[in-house]
């Protein structure tokens, strides 16, 4: 996690969430614990640090055996990997590690390091994109896109969303032809992916 535990708890408190049952591992705490005394002439310091960080992460996951995992954010791994090839190999290694483990894993990406990064997109089962656009006038607009979802039919295009107390509320895009004769109900609908629905339930 790139944010500190205190920062995360502050945000959670503003939404009324209790994080006492969650295990939080800070990246800063990891780098301090491994004591990067890289007096190393054979390997690049960033490569040594990446290997130590990944080992500590995987050892912690094996010990806790969590059902849901969030990495915030993969841009930290991208920086540590130093090259696109090492980064992709690490993402593939993550995929191999989690295969067979009954865990729902979410990788967050702030998209500030590289634009249009497709290294993770081709590996994961689903890609969700949340954007915030600023119009020439009026309020800002938040848009939600489903770029990819393996094995599950989904409605593409742009869906509006808002951030409210307690989480995110998404408004699926309406198709006029589907509502030409029949009115639709104002009700909550399932995401269609049980693991995702469970993931966002607090």
Closest to 160 measured CA to CA, from 140, 175, 142, 146: 142
Question: In terms of domains, do 94 and 159 share one?
Answer: no
Q: Are both 155 and 106 inside the same structural domain?
A: no
Residues of the domain holding 16: 1-124
Query: What average pLDDT does the chain have?
Result: 81
* Residue 130 and residue 109 share a domain: no
Buried b (16+ CB within 10 A) or exposed e, 93-127: ebeebeeeeeebbbbebeeeeeeebebbeeeeebb
**Residue where one domain finishes, among candidates 124, 156, 172:** 124
- Domain end position, chosen among 124, 149, 166: 124
- Domain count of the fold of the chain: 2
> Do 87 and 186 reside in the same domain of the chain?
no
Mean pLDDT to the nearest integer, 115-128: 79
Residues 201, 110 share a domain: no
Buried b (16+ CB within 10 A) or exposed e, 34-69: beeeeeeeeeeebbbbbebbbebbeeebeeeebeeb
Do residues 67 and 114 both lie within one domain?
yes
Residue identified by tokens 């593409």 is 156
Strands 159-164 and 167-171: antiparallel
Residue whose pair of structure tokens reads 């090839």 in the numeric block:
85
| Per-residue pLDDT tens digits for 43-90 | 455 666 888 889 989 999 999 999 999 998 888 888 888 888 888 899
pTM of structure: 0.79
Q: Do 101 and 173 sit in the same domain of this protein?
A: no
Same-domain status, 137 and 56 = no
pLDDT(41) > 50? no
Cα 89 to Cα 20, 35, 94, 142, 157, distances in angstroms: 34, 25, 9, 33, 31
**Both 45 and 16 in a single domain?**
yes
DSSP state of 179: G
Residues 155 and 197 placed together within one structural domain of the fold = yes
pLDDT of 10 above 90: yes
3-state SS assignment for residue 107: strand
Average pLDDT over residues 121-141: 88
CA distance 35 to 46: 13
Same-domain status, 10 and 94 = yes
Residues 98, 159: one domain? no
Regarding beta strands 68-72 and 104-108, do their DSSP bridges make them parallel or antiparallel, or are they unpaired? parallel
Which structure tokens are listed for 160?
């509006």
């Amino acid at each position: 996690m790139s944010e500190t535990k205190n920062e995360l708890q502050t945000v959670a408190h503003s939404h009324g969430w209790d994080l006492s049952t969650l295990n939080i591992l800070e990246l800063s705490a990891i780098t301090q614990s491994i004591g990067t005394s890289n007096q190393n002439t054979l390997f690049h310091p960033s490569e040594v640090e990446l290997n130590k960080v990944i080992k500590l992460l995987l050892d912690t996951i094996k010990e806790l055996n969590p059902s849901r995992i969030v990495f915030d954010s993969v841009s930290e791994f991208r920086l540590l990997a130093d090259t696109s090839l090492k980064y992709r190999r690490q993402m593939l290694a993550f995929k191999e590690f989690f295969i067979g483990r009954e865990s729902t894993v979410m990788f967050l990406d702030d998209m500030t390091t590289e634009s249009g990064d497709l290294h993770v997109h081709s590996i994961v089962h689903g890609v969700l994109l949340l954007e915030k656009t600023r119009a020439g006038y009026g309020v800002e607009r938040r848009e939600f896109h489903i770029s990819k979802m393996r094995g599950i039919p989904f409605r593409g295009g742009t869906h509006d969303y808002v951030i409210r107390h307690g989480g995110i509320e998404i408004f699926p895009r309406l198709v006029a032809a589907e509502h030409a004769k029949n009115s639709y109900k104002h009700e909550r609908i399932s995401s269609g992916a049980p693991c995702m629905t469970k993931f966002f339930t607090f």
